[in-house]
Every structure is written in C-alpha cells, then in structure tokens.
C-alpha cells in the first residue's frame, strides 16, 4: 500500500473524512449530480468525478485544484480550510493553509469640490458661432453672400454696384469712355470745285465706296442696350483694361494684347463686337445670366 493511501486510511480511522467523501456527501445533501455541480461552476464533469474518486493522476496542477476547491467550498457550503487540508493529505503534503482575507470594498466617494465641471465656456462659444451663422444667413444683405459677379441678374433688373477690384498693373491705362449720344462727325475730304472749262476725270466707283465708308473700328466694343451690367476685361498678360458697372446707353471701347478675357455680370444687358464683328455671347453663358470668355481674339 502506498504512503498516500496509508495516510488516507489513517485519516479515516481517526475520524477525518477524505477529500472525495467530503465532496460527495455535500453534493448528495444538496441533491446534485456531478453533472449538475459541474454546470453550476462551469467546470468539466470529469474533474468533479476525479476529485470524488481522489484520482490524483486525472487532476491538473495543484495551483488549479486549489482554485477549484475554493469554488466548490463556496457552492457546497463546506469549510475551505478542511478541503485544502484533505487535498494536501491526498497529494502527500501537509502544510497549514492560509486563506486570503479580502477586506470589504467600500464605495468610493469623490471629495466635494473636486469633481469635473461641465465645460460651459466651450458650449457658450459653440452656440455663439452657430447663432452668428444663422444671423448672417438671414439678415445680412444678399450681395454680401454672393460671388464676385454679384447677385443673380434678371432681364431689366437693376444691379447693385460691385466693389472695384485692385488693378494689378498701372502700365496699361483704361480706354477713355465715349458717350453714345455724343459722337464725333465723320471727317469729310474736301470737295474740289472744277474751274470753268476744266475737264474732271471720273472717280472709280470702288474708290468712292471706300471714301464714303468709315474705316472699320479696331478693338473690343461693349454697348449696353438695356439695364446695366458689371464688366471686367483683361489682356493676355492679366492686366485689367476695364472694370466697372456700365449703365444703359453706355459704350466702351477697349484694346490690348490678345487674347482678351471678358467677364460679364448680365449678358442680356449688352452686346459685344471685336474689330467691328459682333460676338455671340450664348456659347459663353453661365448660370444666373452671367458670361465668361476666357480667350477672345486669340
């Protein structure tokens, strides 16, 4: 007979129950099967049966068994110290069992005055920004919220003047304006009066037509026929040649390095001609009645 079995026999003779007997009697008292007990503790049924058989070969390491015995003692209402001593006798080691004493956990109370305060300042700042955005969207003038071409222009509508953009270079002066109602009279060649008896050579018809028709106008002509429109003209180097709001009846003539760039705020209000030839604005139309010509006369 081995020494561990001799110790178990001696312990039984002394009236001390073995580990298996203690577990089996407590389980049967509660009316549980090994499977029921294993299910409550989320353990394997074979572990419960090995402990009750006191089969040391089927048990895991001692550190795990002690943890299982602690849970079994709580479930079966047994003394944990007696279970641990019975296990030590089973494995052949007898030593005092020191149970861990866990002090009760008291609810932690935060000291008054040290709690985290709600960030009222940040909330007020966010609300202020939102309120400013709503106020600007509802109460500010509409032309403050529009793009660089001003508000959408309808046919015949009066547009608010657009702020003049800074001129990039002063090397190219603006073309002088010529009012529509004051036009210089065409120059007429002096008519030679033939003397009495002088033979006058006939003038060819082609020469007469050329002298009668004025020379074709060079450059870009902008003529406002109705309403008003903001206009900007730049030359090939990006220099601003013209930038203003033209009223009805106004004519402007501009000449500069080509191709020209033309931006019109209300294309229905004016007509363009380049070197005496009309320019169709329909292909250059943009939303809200605007027109944008990137290259003209290139």
pTM above 0.75, yes or no: no
pLDDT band with cut points at 50, 70 and 90 for residue 176 = low
Q: What is the pLDDT of residues 218-271, one digit of tens each?
A: 788 989 998 899 989 999 889 998 999 998 889 998 888 998 999 999 888 889
Residues 160, 264 share a domain: yes
38 located within any domain: yes
108 located within any domain: no
Mean residue pLDDT of the chain comes to 74
Domain ends where: 91, 118, 135?
91
In this predicted structure, what is the pLDDT of residue 195? 57
11 located within any domain: yes
202 located within any domain: no
- Whether pLDDT at 157 is above 50: no
Domain ends where: 91, 108, 138?
91
- The secondary structure of residue 28, as a DSSP letter, is H
The gap from C-alpha 212 to its chain's centroid, in whole angstroms, comes to 67
Question: Residue 50's domain is classified under what CATH number?
Answer: 1.10.260.40
Q: What is the pLDDT of residues 128-145, one digit of tens each?
A: 888 887 877 776 665 555
Residues 42, 171 share a domain: no
Its domain, for residue 239, covers: 149-181+216-298
55 located within any domain: yes
In this predicted structure, what is the pLDDT of residue 20? 93
Residues 33, 156 share a domain: no
190 located within any domain: no
Nearest to 247 by CA among 166, 198, 177, 145: 177
Domain ends where: 60, 91, 122?
91
Provide the number of structural domains found in the chain.
2
Residues 289, 165 share a domain: yes
- Whether pLDDT at 104 is above 60: no
Residue matched to tokens 């300042």: 121
Q: What is the pLDDT of residues 7-37, one digit of tens each?
A: 444 444 344 578 999 999 999 999 999 999 9
What is the CB-side half-sphere exposure of residue 118 using CA atoms within 13 A? 3
164 located within any domain: yes
Distance between CA atoms of 46 and 55, rounded to whole angstroms? 11
35 located within any domain: yes
Residues 165, 275 share a domain: yes
Residues 279, 157 share a domain: yes
Span between the terminal Cα atoms of the chain, in Å:
117
């Amino acid at each position: 007979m081995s020494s561990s079995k001799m110790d178990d026999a001696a312990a039984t003779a002394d009236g001390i129950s073995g580990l298996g007997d203690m577990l089996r009697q407590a389980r049967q008292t509660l009316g549980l099967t090994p499977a029921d007990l294993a299910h409550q503790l989320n353990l394997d049924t074979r572990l419960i049966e090995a402990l009750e058989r006191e089969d040391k070969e089927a048990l895991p390491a001692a550190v795990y068994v002690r943890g299982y015995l602690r849970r079994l003692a709580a479930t079966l209402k047994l003394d944990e110290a007696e279970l641990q001593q019975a296990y030590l006798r089973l494995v052949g080691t007898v030593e005092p069992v020191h149970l861990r004493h866990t002090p009760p956990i008291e609810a932690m109370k935060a000291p008054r005055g040290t709690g985290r305060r709600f960030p009222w300042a940040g909330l007020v700042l966010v609300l202020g920004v939102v309120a400013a955005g709503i106020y600007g969207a509802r109460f500010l003038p509409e032309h403050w919220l529009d793009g660089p071409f001003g508000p959408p222009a309808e046919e015949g509508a009066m547009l608010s003047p657009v702020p003049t953009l800074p001129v990039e270079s002063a090397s190219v002066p603006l073309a002088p304006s010529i009012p529509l109602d004051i036009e210089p009279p065409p120059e007429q060649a002096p008519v030679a009066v033939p003397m009495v008896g002088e033979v006058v050579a006939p003038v060819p018809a082609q020469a007469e037509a050329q002298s009668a028709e004025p020379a074709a106008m060079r450059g870009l002509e902008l003529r406002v026929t109705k309403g008003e429109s903001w206009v900007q003209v730049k030359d090939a180097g990006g220099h601003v040649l013209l930038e203003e709001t033209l009223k009805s009846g106004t004519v402007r003539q501009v000449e500069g390095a080509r191709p020209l760039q033309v931006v019109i705020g209300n294309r229905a209000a004016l007509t363009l001609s380049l070197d005496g030839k009309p320019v169709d604005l329909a292909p250059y139309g943009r939303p809200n009645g605007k027109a944008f010509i990137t290259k003209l006369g290139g």
